[in-house]
Amino acid sequence: MSGVELRARVESRDLDVDFTVAPGEVLAVLGPNGAGKSTALHVIAGLVRPDVGSVRVGDRTLTDSSAGVHVGTFDRRVGLLMQDPLLFPHLSVAANVAFGARSGKRLSRKASRDVAAHWLAEVDAADLADRKPRRLSGGQAQRVALARALAADPEVLLLDEPLTGLDVGVAAAMRAVLRRVLVRDGRSSVLVTHDLLDVVTLADRVVVLEAGRVAESGPTATVLTAPRSSFGAQFAGINLVNGRLGENSTLVTGWQQVWHGTPDGGLHGGGAVATFHPSAVAVYRDEPHGSPRNTVEVVIAELDGRGPAIRVRAERQQDGSPGLAADITAESATDLRLGPGQRVFFTVKSQEVSIHPAR
Q: How confident is the model at residue 346, as a pLDDT?
A: 97
Q: How confident is the model at residue 267, as a pLDDT?
A: 62
DSSP helix/strand/coil, 356: strand
Distance between CA atoms of residues 146 and 140, nearest Å: 10
- Is residue 343 a contact partner of residue 314, using CB atoms and an 8 Å limit? no
* Predicted confidence band of residue 78 (pLDDT cuts 50, 70, 90): very high
Whole-model pTM: value is 0.79
Order of all β-strands in the sheet with 325-328: 282-284, 343-348, 294-304, 310-314, 325-328
How large is the average pLDDT for residues 271-279? Answer: 89
Instruction: Tell whether the model's pLDDT for residue 294 goes beyond 60.
Output: yes
Residue 11: CB atoms within 10 Å: 10
Q: Hey, do 4-223 and 238-357 end up sharing a CATH topology, with the first three levels equal? A: no
Q: How confident is the model at residue 159, as a pLDDT?
A: 95
CB contact set of 116 (below 8 Å; sequence gap of 6+) = 94, 95, 97, 98, 100, 101, 129, 147, 151
Q: How confident is the model at residue 52, as a pLDDT?
A: 98
Q: 238-357 in CATH: which number?
A: 2.40.50.100
Question: Which residue would you say has higher pLDDT here, 162 or 208?
Answer: 208
Instruction: Tell whether the model's pLDDT for residue 272 goes beyond 80.
Output: yes
Distance between CA atoms of residues 185 and 51, nearest Å: 34
The mean pLDDT of the chain is 91
Residue 307: CB atoms within 10 Å: 10
Q: With CA atoms as reference, report the closest residue to 10 among 59, 41, 22, 230.
A: 41
Task: Return phi, psi of residue 226, to 5°.
Answer: -140, 65
Q: 4-223 in CATH: which number?
A: 3.40.50.300
What's CA 84's distance to the chain center, in Å?
18
Q: How confident is the model at residue 170, as a pLDDT?
A: 84
Distance between CA atoms of residues 174 and 166, nearest Å: 9
Half-sphere exposure of 78 (CA within 13 A, CB side): 29
How large is the average pLDDT for residues 284-311? Answer: 89
Instruction: Tell whether the model's pLDDT for residue 97 goes beyond 60.
Output: yes
- For residue 231, the surrounding DSSP H or E stretch is helix 230-236
Q: Where are the domains of the chain?
A: 4-223, 238-357
* Predicted confidence band of residue 178 (pLDDT cuts 50, 70, 90): confident
How large is the average pLDDT for residues 335-346? Answer: 95
Q: How confident is the model at residue 148, as a pLDDT?
A: 93
| Residue 153 DSSP one-character state | -
149-183 burial, b at 16+ Cβ within 10 Å, e below that, comes to bbbbbbbbbbbbbbbbebeeebbebbbebbeebbe
CB contact set of 321 (below 8 Å; sequence gap of 6+) = 230, 240, 241, 242
How large is the average pLDDT for residues 215-222? Answer: 91
Instruction: Tell whether the model's pLDDT for residue 214 goes beyond 60.
Output: yes
